[in-house]
Amino acid sequence: MWVDQYIIFMQWNRYFTKGIGFLFIFISLFTGSAHAQYKRNFVVAKDGSGDYTTIQAAIDASKSFPYERITIHIKNGVYKEKVRVPEWNPRISLVGESREKTIITYDDYFNRIDRGRNSTFFTSTLLVQGNEFHAENLTIKNSAGPVGQAIALTVDADKVMISNCRLLGNQDTVYLTGKGDRQYFENCYIEGTTDFIFGQATAVFQGCEIHSKDDSYITAASTAKGVSYGFVFKDCRLTAEKDVTQVYLGRPWRKFARTVFLKCWMGNHIRPEGWDNWSNPENEKTAYYAEYHNNGPGYKPEKRVAWAHQLTAKEARDYRINEIFGNWNPKSN
């Protein structure tokens, strides 16, 4: 009798367990499918023909921490809005219809923000905090004019690619930050007056035009101590307004600044000495500034400051993309 009861119990237990298993599988498939289904493409259009009329609304509607990239297609138009891509929205792509006619603009500047000495960092037209962000075919502009610090683009994220974009402003146009964060700019036009590319990120500029609008400084890197790469310009063109004749390649916002120009064309607006120590000779011991096989009337290696470097061919090989970015290939995602 005890044996019969045990057999009955085991049969009941097996069917019950199997039923629970089937139920678990069904629930898992259902919830997993629901979890995987989210909108991956949005259209933004000023005329109401898309999903949203503002870029921020499309970002806000995007799934947080998606497994797959979400692409926001932006039709031509002038979008006057401050845009933020937050940390919980990685893998966002903003793709404009055309570089010249898809324009994100705002006009905040230091004195308008009026939040004390750090007001600059609140002025961005576009603020990127989500990793693996892409932007292409866009104009990103701070339209405040020559009124002091006014950022067009802030990138505070890793694995960011900006392609075929115009970044327009005056002082502090582009702020690139995040210790060791990797950011890649390809075929972009970047303009400004003073320190218009600044920050501590590891950023590569490939085939970009860097346009000075005033006699001042192009870069102000603040590379962190121990980080091997700061700002790297490769095959870029350095141009200027007609009346601009006295422009430095860079000065150290922080003492371990690193900036290198390789195979770039430099107009005659570049000062012969090339680099400035920000009125502090001690920076000459810690900042790292270098060039390799540049050309154009602004390239005068024999007249550069004594504390800058002219790279050898062997040293220049350390500035290949895979050396700078390690395991991240900006073209792969």
Count CB atoms within 10 A of the CB of residue 297.
11
Q: How far apart, in whole angstroms, are the C-alpha atoms of residue 223 and residue 220?
A: 9
Supply the pLDDT for residue 29: 41
Q: What's the whole-number average pLDDT of the chain?
A: 92
Mean pLDDT of 79-87: 98
- Percent pLDDT > 90 in the chain is 88
pLDDT (tens digit, 9 = 90+) per residue, 169-199? 999 999 999 999 999 999 999 999 999 999 9
DSSP letter for 223, please: P
Q: Does residue 34 surpass a pLDDT of 60?
A: no
Q: How far apart, in whole angstroms, are the C-alpha atoms of residue 108 and residue 130?
A: 22
Of the two residues 280 and 4, the one the predictor is more confident about is 280
| Residues recognised as catalytic | 172, 195
Supply the pLDDT for residue 125: 99
| Cα 258 versus chain centre, distance | 17
CATH superfamily of 41-325: Single-stranded right-handed beta-helix, Pectin lyase-like (2.160.20.10)
Supply the pLDDT for residue 63: 98
DSSP letter for 52, please: B
Quickly state the pLDDT bin for 333 (edges 50, 70, 90): low
Supply the pLDDT for residue 36: 56
Inter-CA distances, 18 with 25, 155, 234, 300, Å: 10, 52, 63, 79
